[in-house]
Every structure is written in structure tokens, then in C-alpha cells.
Structure 1
Amino acid sequence: MSETVFPPQKVTDPARFGRVAVLMGGTSSEREVSLDSGRNVLAALRARGVDAQAVDGVTTLVHELQARHFDRVFNILHGGEGENGVLQGLLEGLGVPYTGSGVLGSALAMDKIRTKQVWLSLGLPTPRYARLPKGADVHAAAREIGLPLIVKPSCEGSSVGVSRVFDEAGLDSAIELAARYPGELLMEQMVVGDELTVGILGDGTTHHALPSIRIVPKGEWYDYNAKYIAEDTQYLCPGLDGEAEAEIRRIALAAFLAAGCSGWGRVDVMRDRASGAFYLLEANTAPGMTGHSLVPKAAAQLGIGFEELCWRILEQTLEVAAR
């Protein structure tokens, strides 16, 4: 398929951004990953002359904004209030431009169950699932979905609290693990096949699906260790070719926009090995920017290095400020 061609960068003078808060860390289960991402973003922006400073968590940010120390926010606060719409609503109320999706897109994408409901209403493919509120009959739900299956918290990322269940004997421990995290639980059909992801990057006028990445972990599946620690996970980019690559990008972009997401992000997809069909898993509105992260790898395939990627994401805040 033809490759995406991005327009030139909109600004060249880093002074246009004023003082930038790189929001990282926080209190969610993804704190350590966020700190790693934040350090990388901070270094990239500073390398291009941006007056950027690290800010750890929303409470600290509020104090800094009240003191008028910053003009805009690069949000790399993974999970929790960084991605659930709370931060976005705060910044909207204060009139401070920020990167990534707005209130609706952030809140909806953070809730995997509600995201699925939107996708299914539009005919977008996603694995069979069951919503598990407190007190639900999990064994009945498992029989309805069929084994093997996945159990996960509905509002966590980075594979936190996720279990693969192959028989009923493993179900209770999977539920116990997922229930350690706030929110409802999600039980989902396990799709056996290739795990892929598609980065999304806006240019101010439209959004583009970046080349897909096929993830090949050394172990049985792409868990937290394979994502952030192991050095033997393979990332094949583009992950597919021909019509299959065009189709996964189309579905991922449609899913991202359907969830109300904007700016930049990532959509995770499974491809069934037997049928070749694609199944949407989730949308991420503040993806990782670590040395293992996927959006930078996909952008690099189009000749967009890490520093340029951070600059282009930050440029989106100028568009927001102009509205």
C-alpha cells in the first residue's frame, strides 16, 4: 500500500510553545512506565530547544498551573487520571492546551467495556466478551464465552492484572488478580493468532494510521515483562503487507475515531490465525514512549525520529489553542 506522507512541521521556533509541562509518573499502576516515557519525551523536547520541565502527577501540576508556571502540557501520564478524562477536564476548565485525546475520548477508551459497546454498535470487530460487575457469576460467563479466555480489569493498561485462562480451574485465581484493581472486570474470548498494534498520529487536519507492528514475544504471550523488560521481543514493522496491511490500518483508524480519540494514540489488534480476521482489543490515548514502545517504532518506519515525533505531538496543542 502507499505510505503516508506527512505535511511539513508547522512551526520551527521552540519559543512558540512557551513553557511546557511534561506530565509523568502519578499514582496509577503504570507509574514506573510513565516515568520512563516522560524522561524520554523531556529529553527529546529539550534537545530541540523547547523549555520543558518534568511534573510528577496531577496534584503537582495543579499547583504549577495555579502559579502560571506553564503554558501547555505534554501528557505522558499513563493510566488512571492521566487517561480517564479527569486530567483532560481539569485542563479544559483551566484553558490549558494539552496533548492527546479530549475528555470524551480519554474516558471512553480507558473503559474497555464501553469502548467495545461503541465498536460493536458500528459493526467494528472485537472479541466476544462479558462485563463482570461485583457479584457476577463468573463461571456462567466463562461457559457462555467459551475457553480459552482472557480476564482483565476494564480500566487498566500495560497488561496489568491480565490472565489467560485455559480451564475452569484457573478462573478463580484470574478473577482474584484482576479484582485487585478498581473498576469492573472484563472477560473476553481469547483470539489465537498474531498480536498487532497500529499507531495513530494526527497532523492538525486529519489522522493517519502508521504502519502496523507485529509483536513476536519470546514467551507464550506479550505480557508486562515482554513489553517493558525483556530484550528478546521482536517487533516486525510493517507487520503485514498488501491488502491485509491496508485493512488493519483502516480498522484501527476507524476504531480510534469511533471512540472519540484524537491527536495521537495506538490501537491494539489480534489477527485470528485460522481465519485471518482482525479483532480490536483496545485504544490507548497516552501510549508508552519508552525504548520498547511501539508508536515510536512505527513512526520511525516513515522516517519520523523520536524527537520529531514528540515535536509533532506537541504541535497539536497549538491547534487546540487556536480553536
Structure 2
Amino acid sequence: MGGWSAEREVSLTSGAGIAEALESLGHRVTRIDMDRDVAARLAEARPDLVFNALHGTPGEDGSIQGLLDIMGLRYTHSGLATSVIAIDKVLTKQALVPQGVPMPGGRIVASEELYAGDPLTRPYVLKPVNEGSSVGVAIVTNEGNYGNPISRDATGPWQEFDELLAEPYIRGRELTTAVLGQTALGVTELRPKSGWYDYDAKYTDGLTDHIFPAPVPGEITDACKAIALQAHRLLGCKGCSRSDFRWDDERGVDGLFLLEVNTQPGMTPLSLVPEQARHIGMSYPALVQAIVDEAMRGEALT
């Protein structure tokens, strides 16, 4: 848990909850706040299983997965190849769109291009190619304060990243579906009380209402669950994943778009996977144990 990504604090919170749950179930737990000596610390601990509670890079992008593979250690969640693809939004599109998964269009732009003009018609979204938790996301509108064209001095992801993914902005509602093993747990609607569902709205208590089951037509619930499970399988996800959607409710099922698949979804008190599990009668410790059981079997849950 922990590490040095932009999602360090969230990872520490996830890791603390997981460790407590594992201990309550009788497991012997070693907590490792990942640093550059992680291989030595793992070798000393000699675990039967590594529960990966890291978020972002290098815990979610295949780096730690490769290290654990080399060390011959079992670990939870997705493997190296899946992690490399799923954290990269462009690679994810390349893997899923040809298989019929609806995702927004868009293209990679050099940040320097933005100072000369818009890459897409406003409104559009700019996001880093391989960050999670809405880190570095900017919604560029005609009424926005970034300037037109975007000002070099305006605060935004163009100051932090050389390249960004530009996607059309999809109006409507924020939906999310967790998959555990081979089961889609349900659909939650996320309603930020102000602004949009950014990093603060995700992880600050009281800033976003989570509505489960989402008050959407049955065909939208069914579509979210089917797409999330399809993406989980196509990418080769293990353990649990979470698929995030935007739904333009004026267009019916044709307005539903998968935004991304999270292979290391949060496990904090505000996180969506444990929340959906709880709503279907699975406690937090039972969820953690189910993820452990799958990793120890080395095969998909059924």
C-alpha cells in the first residue's frame, strides 16, 4: 500500500482497511508502505500472498506485477499485461472498441498544441493517458476559465503532462459497475453536490451522493453490467474491477459510454466496490476474503 503516486493517501486508507479485515479473519498480515526497497522487504516477509492495495503507478501499471512475477509471489488483482493495458486509456480503447464496447472517441494531443487552439469542439475533456481517480482531468467549456485558446498560465494538466487524451464531453449522468470474479454486482449513480466527480468528490465524505441501485431504466442497468463484465473478461482482469460510465439520458442505451476500467479499485470507506458488495449482502471482510481466495486458487471466481 502507499507508494509514491498521486493516489498515495487513498492507497494507505485502502490498505489499512484491508489489513484490518484480513486480521479479523485470522490471517497474519505484514503491512508494507512501498518504497524503493520493496523487493527486499517482500523477500524478508516471505508472504503466501501479496494483497495489492496500490493505486496509480507503479502499483497499477504492471510495474509491481512484473516484480512479483519475477519473485514468484502470488498476488491479488490483475496481472502484468492486463495492468499495462487497462491503465493506459488509449490501449484500453484499442483493446475494447473493436470488440463492440462503446467508448468515447478522441485523440492524443501534445500539451503545447492547446495553446494554439482547441483539438476538439468545446465542450471536451482533457485527461492524462495513464492516471486514475480523475487525477489531472479538465473539462474545457466555452464558459471555462482556462482561456480560448487555453492560456499557458492557466492551471491544468497541460502544465504537468507533455501529452493528454482529448475526448468529447458526454453530458448526462455518472454511473459505475463493480465486477467481482465473473459477477457484475450492480450499478451506482454518482451525484456530486457541486461541480463534477473529481478527485475531491470521490474521496471527501459528504461531497457526492451514491445511489444504489441507480434510478435508471432496466435496459441501462443491464447494459452497464454486461459491458463491465465484457470489459473485465476482454482485458483479462482478475479479482475485482470497476467500470465507469457516462450516460446521456436523452439518448437511451445509445448514450451509454464506458470511460475506463479500474483494475485496482479503491477499498476505502467511501469506495464503490465495497459499497456495492455490501448492498448485495457481502461484508467488507467477506469481499476481501473472496479476492484472496481467487488469487490463491489462481483461477477466476465463478
TM-score for the superposition, normalised by structure 1: 0.84
Residue type matched to 1:188 in 2? E
Is the alpha carbon distance of 1:136 and 1:70 closer, same or farther for their aligned partners in structure 2, counting shifts above 3 Å? same
Deviation at 1:184, TM superposition (A): 3.3
| Matching residue within 235, 250, 253 for 2:226 | 250
Q: Secondary structure, in 3 states, of the residue corresponding to 1:72?
A: coil
5+ long unaligned stretches in structure 1: 1-23
TM-superposition CA deviations, 1:224-250 (whole Å, max 9, x none)? 111111414111112135222111100
- CA distance change for structure 1 residues 137 and 218 in 2, over 3 Å: closer, same or farther? closer
Matched, 1:275 2:251: yes
Query: 1:25 corresponds to which letter in structure 2?
Result: G
72, 92, 107: which one aligns with 2:84: 107
The verdict on how the C-alpha distance between 1:321 and 1:151 changes in structure 2, with shifts beyond 3 A counting, is closer
User: What residue number does 2:136 align with?
Assistant: 161
Question: Aligned residue pairs: how many?
Answer: 293
TM-score calculated relative to the size of structure 2: 0.90
Work out the CA distance in 2 between the residues paired with 1:299 and 1:193.
25
| Contact preservation (8 Å) 2:114, 2:149 | no
Output the CA distance in 1 between the equivalents of 2:161 and 2:72.
30
SS of structure 1 residue aligned to 2:156: helix
Structure 1 residue 225 corresponds to structure 2 residue 204: no
Of 204, 211, 216, the match for 2:186? 211
Matches within 5 A, 1:164-175: 164-167=139-142, 169=148, 171-172=150-151
Once the two structures are TM-superposed, the CA of residue 128 in structure 1 deviates from its matched residue by: 1.9
Structure 2 counterpart of 1:149, one-letter code = Y
Distance of 1:131 and 1:171 partners within structure 2: 16
Offset, 1:198: 0.6
* Match of residue 129 from structure 1: 106
Matches within 5 A, 1:238-317: 238-239=213-214, 240-276=216-252, 277-317=255-295
Deviations, residues 58-81 of structure 1 (Å, cap 9, x unaligned): 534311222253221000100001
Aligned to 1:152: 127
Q: Does the CA contact (< 8 Å) of 2:194 and 2:207 recur in 1?
A: no
* Percent identity (aligned): 38
Q: Does the CA-based 8 Å contact 2:114-2:150 persist in structure 1?
A: no
Alpha-carbon separation, structure 2, partners of 1:220 and 1:105: 32
SS of equivalent to 1:274: coil
Q: Distance in 1 between matches of 2:64 and 2:237?
A: 15
Inter-CA distance 301–222: structure 2 relative to 1 (3 Å threshold):
same
Deviation at 1:163, TM superposition (A): 0.9
Question: CA 1:117 to 1:303, structure 2 compared with 1: closer, same or farther past 3 Å?
Answer: same
Is 1:192 equivalent to 2:171 in the alignment?
yes
Residue 66 (structure 1) aligned with residue 43 (structure 2): yes
- 235-244 or 49-58: bigger deviation: 235-244
> In 2 relative to 1, CA 68–220 (structure 1 residues): closer, same or farther, beyond 3 Å?
closer
C-alpha change, 1:139 and 1:262, in structure 2 (3 Å) is: farther
**In the alignment, is residue 117 of structure 1 matched against residue 94 of structure 2?**
yes
Are the structure 2 counterparts of residues 31 and 170 from structure 1 closer, same or farther at C-alpha, using a change threshold of 3 Å? Answer: farther
Moved more, 59-68 or 71-80: 59-68
8 Å CA contact retained: 1:58, 1:87: no
User: Whose strand proportion is higher, 1 or 2?
Assistant: 1
**Which of 11, 14, 24 is matched with 1:34 structurally?**
11
* SS of alignment partner, residue 99 of structure 1: coil
Greater mean alpha carbon deviation, residues 115-124 or residues 189-198: 115-124
CA distance in 1, matches of 2:236, 2:160: 25
Q: Give the SS at the match of 1:222.
A: coil
* Alignment partners' CA distance in 1, 2:114 and 2:139: 18
Taking a change above 3 Å as real, the CA distance of residues 191 and 175 of structure 1, as seen in their structure-2 partners, is farther
* Counterpart code for 2:59: G
Supply the distance in 1 between the matched residues of 2:237 and 2:299 (Cα, whole angstroms).
Answer: 18
Alpha-carbon RMSD:
2.2
C-alpha deviation, 1:320, in angstroms = 1.9
On the 8 A contact 2:89/2:260 being kept in 1, the answer is yes
- List per-residue Cα deviations over 1:177-213 (Å, max 9, x = no partner): 22454573111111111101110101xxxx1111111
Residue 36 (structure 1) shift: 0.8
Q: Is the 2:136–2:157 Cα contact (8 Å) retained in structure 1?
A: yes
Q: How does 1:89-100 map to 2 (within 5 A)?
A: 89-100=66-77
Q: Say if 1:154 and 1:183, in contact at 8 Å, map to a contact too.
A: no
Q: Which residue of 2 aligns with 1:177?
A: 156
Residues 127 and 172 (structure 1), Cα distance of their counterparts in 2 relative to 1, 3 Å cut: farther
